[in-house]
Structures are given as structure tokens and as C-alpha cells.
Amino acid sequence: MKLILAVVQDQDSARLMNAMVDHNFRVTKLASTGGFLKSGNTTFMIGTEDIRVEKALQVIRDNCKSREQLMAPVSPMGGNADSYIPYPVEVEVGGATVFVLPVEQFHHF
Ligand code: 2BA
Ligand code: 2BA
């Protein structure tokens, strides 16, 4: 068994959830926050048999797309405000960041 952790954009989360359930995957969705943009994203936890991992990755790939997102400028902390450039920076946020972990034990009490 494997545990798939997939960090996706909020805009894709409802579609991905429906697609995973349609393909008979068991899923738990968590609200998460990206460290860099400090804005919300969604983390999916999917526990599945080894032979279904490829299918799960395909469903994730098909339902998540990358987008440009604007990063708000960070004001200087007591620094020199003269060199501070107050415009937002564009960052490409990926469709999904996915980790596949081995599951040592699975219990369902
Ligand atoms: P839910 O996905 O909302 O599922 C609630 C209950 O609905 C499940 O209880 C199960 O009895 C039933 N169920 C879910 N998917 C089904 C399906 N495809 N066919 C028939 N019945 C289905 P539990 O199995 O006790 O799961 C409770 C919660 O634990 C789940 O909520 C989900 O959030 C999480 N979960 C369970 N197995 C998981 C897994 N393999 N990976 C990730 N999360 C899992
Ligand atoms: P954030 O940390 O908010 O990052 C959003 C996007 O900002 C990233 O997209 C990347 O394009 C850019 N970025 C992040 N850190 C950067 C840095 N130090 N320098 C320059 N640009 C940077 P993605 O790579 O597609 O990541 C999307 C989200 O997936 C991340 O949101 C984070 O929540 C998660 N993530 C990505 N890699 C991870 C990892 N190795 N471990 C845990 N979570 C990760």
C-alpha cells in the first residue's frame, strides 16, 4: 500500500475530489498553506494499493493545471525603504506537488 500526498491549488480541488471518487479512490482532503506564497492550497491524502498508484497519478495530472499567481510584495522590516520595489512578482504555481510514501501499516478501527 502507498500513501499519496498531493498539494494542489484550491481552484482544482473540487474537480480533483470528484474525479478521484469517480475512479473509486478513497480520499481525505485537508486545507493547507504554502510556505512561499503564504496562501491557501489543498492537500489530498490518498491511501491506495501499489498497483493503483499510476492511475491515481494520472487522475491528478488530468485534473490539476499550473497557473501564474501574483506574489504580494513584502515590505522591508526596518530596512531601507528607498531600495524597496513595491510591485507584485509573478510566480508559476504547479498543477500538483505529489509525494508517494510507503505505508507500513494500515488500520481501520
Ligand atoms: P469519506 O470518504 O467521507 O467516507 C465515509 C465512509 O463512506 C467511509 O468510512 C466508508 O464507510 C464509506 N465509503 C467511502 N468511500 C466508499 C466507496 N468508494 N464505496 C463504498 N463506501 C465508501 P471509512 O472507511 O471509515 O472512512 C472514513 C474517512 O476516512 C473517509 O471519509 C476518508 O476521509 C478517510 N479515509 C478512509 N480510507 C482512506 C484512504 N484509503 N485514503 C485516504 N483517506 C481515507
Ligand atoms: P508555496 O510554498 O506557496 O509555493 C508556491 C510557488 O512558489 C511554487 O509552486 C514555486 O513555483 C514558487 N516557490 C516556492 N518556493 C520558492 C522559492 N524558495 N524560490 C522561488 N520560488 C519558489 P510549486 O513548486 O508548484 O508548489 C506549490 C505548493 O506545493 C507550495 O506552495 C507548497 O505548499 C507545496 N510544495 C511544493 N514543494 C514542496 C515540498 N518539497 N515539500 C512540501 N510542500 C511543497
pLDDT digits (tens, 9 = 90+) for 23-59: 999 999 999 999 999 999 999 999 999 999 999 999 9
Q: Mind listing the pLDDT tens digit for each residue in 55-95?
A: 999 999 999 999 998 887 766 666 566 656 678 889 999 89
CA of 27 to the centre of ligand 2 (A): 22
Instruction: Please spell the DSSP secondary structure of 56-109, one letter per residue.
Output: HHHHHHHH---EEEEEPPPPPSSS-GGG-----EEEEEPSEEEEEEE-S-----
CA of 66 to the centre of ligand 2 (A): 12
Could you state, in order of their start, the residue ranges of all structural domains in the chain? Answer: 2-72+87-102
Claim: this prediction has a pTM higher than 0.95: no
The answer regarding whether domain 2-72+87-102 maps to CATH 3.30.1540.20 reads no
